[in-house]
Amino acid sequence: MDFFKNPKKASFYNGNWMYEPGIVPTFAESVATHTFEGGALTLFTSPSPNASRGGLGGPMLTVKLTSPARNVIGVEVTHFRGEAKRGPDFELGGEQTSPELREEENLLVYRTGELEARIVRHGGYMGWNMEFVGGGKPLTSSAARSAAYFYDSKSGAGYTSQQLEIGVGECIYGLGERFGPLVKNGQSVDMWQADGGTGSEQAYKNVPFYLSNRGYGVFVDSPADINFEVGTVKVERVMFTAESETLRYFVMYGAKPADVLERYTLLTGRPALPPAWSFGLWLSTSFTTDYDEATATSFIDGMAERDIPLSVFHFDCFWMRGNHWTDFVWDPEMFPDPEGMLRRYHEKGLKICVWINPYIAQQSRLFDEGMANGYLLKKEDGSVWQTDLWQSGMGIVDFTNPAACEWYAGYLREMMRMGVDCFKTDFGERIPVKGVKWYDGSDPVRMHNYYTELYNRTVFRAIESERGIGEAVVFARSGTAGTQKYPVHWGGDNAGNYPSMAETLRAGLSLAVSGYGFWSHDIGGFEATAPADLYKRWCAFGLLSSHSRLHGSSSYRVPWSFDEEASTVLRRFVRLKNSLMPYIYEHAIEAHETGVPVIRPMAFEFPDDPACAYLDRQYMLGHDLLVAPVFSPDGTAEFYVPQGKWRSLLDGKKYEGGRWYKETFDYFSLPLLVRPGAVIPVGSTETRPDYDYTDSLTLIINLPGDGAASREIPNVTGVRDALVTVTREGGKFTVSATKPLAGLAAEIDGVKYPCEGLTTTIDL
C-alpha cells in the first residue's frame, strides 16, 4: 500500500464532445440572478439558459467574485456550499480595496484597479462568458463550458473545475519547481509533493500558480492535489481541477511580469531577506561519505590554502549516528568535542549549517518522548504512524500541534547555543495521506503538500528567535505556495551530467516565476561524481546563482578532488560573486520587498521579445546581467542577446543585440553580459560576501547613448546606503552620489576614472 501517493484522478473528457463513462457534467451556462454586497459579486447560474420559471431542482453552480487587493479578482465556483471545511489553507494577505460593479444591458462589469471581469448575463446556447480585461486589453476568459462540476457516478466523487482560455502565441510559466520545459503549454501537471529527483515529472516544490506572458497570473487557492492541464485535455485552455465541491482561484493583472508577481506575493508572502554572509560559498561534507572532524577541518584548511573564500560549512546527515535521524546528537566517535570544533570553525570566520529532517527514527532519543506527548503523527486508531522507508520505524513530527512545534524548536535552539547558525531542512515530501489523523484534524490530502510550510516555518522562526530577524536562513528542499517566505531553497537531487545541469536551471527559472526569490542547487550534481570539465562549468553557473553550495552524494565536492585547475576556476568565480555583492544584494532587497526573484527567465525581463519566450538555457541575474552557462564539454555556448548594445562584464567584448551567438569559452569565462543602459556596481572585496559595499566601489558603465542609470547601494543590514546616478550627454559622463563614497571609480570601455565628492564629470 502506497501511503504517499495522491488519489487517482478521474478522467472527464473523451475528445471535445463526449465524456468518459459515468461522468455527469454541470456547467455554468447563464446568469439567473446576482447580488452585490460588501464588495462581493455573487452569480447564481442556471445550467440551461432556457430554464423556465417552473424548472425547479437540478444542479447549479454559484460563482462568487471578490477582490483581496487592487488588480486581483478572486473567483469561487461552488456546487454544494454545505461541504465540510477542513484545513489546512494557505495564509493569504491583501490590502484595502473597493471593487465596483457596473451593470450594462447584458453585461456585469466587476472592476478593481485596472482589472475587470466582464460577465455576459444571457448569451444564448452555450453562452456563459466571463472575460478578464487588464489595462483595457483582453487577458483570458472563462468561456462556454469552462466553469464546471463533474460527478463520477462510478466512484461517487465530485470535482470542481475551471478552464481559462490560452491565446495564440501565449506561453504559460510557473507551477513550482518543474524540471521539464520552461513553457508549460502541452503539459499535464499534478500538484503533489514527491521525492523524485530532478530527472522526473515529480517535484519537491509544487506551487498552484502560473504566469502568462500576456500580462496576468492565476493562483489556485488550495494546497490539495490540484491537477493542471495546460493546453492538453482542451488545447485552447488551461484546465485546473480539485476533488471538492468548491474551487477558488485568483486572477491578477500587471503591465509587466514583475507587477503580476508583486501581486501574487502580496497574497502569499514575500521572502525574508537572507543575511549577506549566506550569499558566499557553502561547502558540504556530502552525503553517505565517511567523515569526522579531521576530514572536515582538512576541507576547510584546504580551501584556505588555495585562497578560495568560504562562508558556510555544512555538516550533512552523518553528523548524527546512522539510523538515529533525527535526534540532534553529534556522533561521539566522529565528533568527540562538537562545541570546541564549532568554536574553532567560527574563529576561522565560518558560519555553520547542519542537516535535519522532520522524521524521527525509532532508535532516536526523541521517539519515545514524542510518542508519549502526542508530538508524532498518528494513525486513525490513535497509535503512532510509522514506516521503515528512510529510517527504521520512523515517525513524523506533527507540526499541526503547537506543542510539537515548540518541542522540535527547543532542540534547534540547543544546537544554536552550541554554535550552529542555520539548518538544512531536508525532506518533507513523503507525507502519508492514508489512515492518518493530524492533531488539528486537517485533511490528510490537503496536508500532504502543506506540511512543508509548517516544517520550514517552525525551523525558520526558531532561528529568528535565537539569532534575530535578519540572521535567519534555511537550506530547504520542499516548498509550496507561501514557503518562499523562508529562504533559501535548493533544487534537490540532480546528477553529475550536462542534461541534469540544464534541467536544474529550468527548474530554478520555473520556481523563480512561482514567487521564490532565492534559489540554489548542488554544484556538480548530487548523484554520481561529475567529470572535471562539468564540475568546472557548473562552478561558474553555481556562483552566478543567488546562493551557491558544493554538495554531493557518494564523494566529496572539494575542487582538488577533481583536478587542481578546478580549484583555480572555483576561486575565480567565488571572488567574482563576492565582488558583485553590491549588485546582488540590491536585488535581494528587491526580492524581499516586492517578490521579484534574483534570477529570472529571459521572458520575464523581455516579455515583448518573441525570441525570449522559450529560452531556458540562459537567464537574467537581476535586472541587468545576462548569464548563459556553458552546457558542453567543448566549451561551446549558444545564446541569444536581446536588442541593444551589450558588453561582457568579464572582458569588455561588445555584442550587438537582436541575434544569436555561438562562441567557445574556457573554464574561466562564460557569457556574462551587461544590459544596455545599465550601471553595475562592483565591490572592492573578493574574500567575503559581507563587507562595506560603498567602500572603493567601481561602477561598470554601459551607456551606449545619451541617458541615465541609477543604482541603490545597500549595506549588509539590507538598508539602502547610497544612491549613485550616471548620466551621459554625448561624450560627457556625470557621476553623482547622495553621500561621499571613498574610492569611488567609474569604468567606461575598460578605463577607470576616479570620482571624488558628490559629483564628478568625465569628458571623453
In sequence order, what DSSP letters do the residues of 462-524 get, joined into one string? HHHHHH-TTS--B-BS-B-TTGGGS--EE--S-BSSHHHHHHHHHHHHHHHTTT---EE-EET
Are 152 and 23 in contact by the 8 Å Cβ rule? The answer is yes
Alpha helix positions (H), 242-288: 257-268
- Of 316, 426, 443, 533, the active-site residue reads 426
| Residue 426 is a catalytic residue | yes
C-alpha span between 724 and 710 (Å, rounded): 6
Q: Which residue has the cell 472575460?
A: 131
Q: Burial, 542: exposed, middle or buried (Cβ in 10 Å; 0-12, 13-18, 19+)?
A: buried
Q: Which three cell numbers stand for residue 103?
A: 451593470
- Which whole-number Å values give the CA distances from 733 to 160, 465, 746, 761, in the listed order? 61, 48, 9, 6
> Which residue of the set 493, 616, 624, 690 is catalytic?
493
CA-nearest of 452, 443, 447, 65 to 249 is 65
Distance CA 349, CA 727 (A): 40
* HSE of 15, CA atoms in CB hemisphere, 13 A: 2
C-alpha cell at 321: 549516528
Residue 219 contacts residue 264 (beta carbons within 8 Å): yes
Residues 6+ apart with CB under 8 A from 677: 644, 702, 703, 704, 707, 709
Contacts of the segment 440-446: beta carbons below 8 A, 24+ positions apart? 440/87, 440/400, 440/401, 441/86, 441/87, 442/86, 442/87, 442/88, 442/400, 443/86, 443/87, 443/88, 443/224, 445/6, 445/7, 445/224, 445/225, 446/86, 446/87, 446/88, 446/89, 446/222, 446/223, 446/224
DSSP conformational letter for 293: H
Distance (Å) of CA 373 to CA 120, 385, 430: 57, 14, 23
Give the integer Cα–Cα distance in Å for 525 and 495.
4
Beta bridge partners of 394: 387
Residue 356 parent element (H or E)? strand 351-356
How far is residue 205 from each of residues 98, 158, 169, 193, 227, measured CA to CA in Å? Answer: 34, 26, 27, 6, 15
CB hemisphere CA count around 556 (13 angstroms): 19
Size of the chain, expressed as the number of residues it contains: 764
**Per-residue DSSP letters for 581-612?**
HHHHHHHHHHHHHH---SEE-HHHH-TT-GGG
Q: Cell match 456546487: residue?
A: 79
Residue tagged 574574500 (cell numbers): 687
Q: Report d(CA 96, CA 266) in Å as an integer.
A: 12
C-alpha cell recorded at residue 335: 565528533
Write out the H or E segment, with its range, that includes residue 570.
helix 564-579
Would you tell me the crossing angle of helices 402-418 and 365-373 to the nearest 10 degrees? 150
Find the catalytic residue in 29, 229, 421, 429: 429
Give CA separation, 381 vs 18, 202, 377, 384, 634, in Å.
44, 31, 11, 9, 61
Cα 19-20-23 angle, rounded to 5 deg: 80
Cα(320)–Cα(327) distance, integer angstroms: 7
The residues carrying an active-site annotation are 426, 429, 493
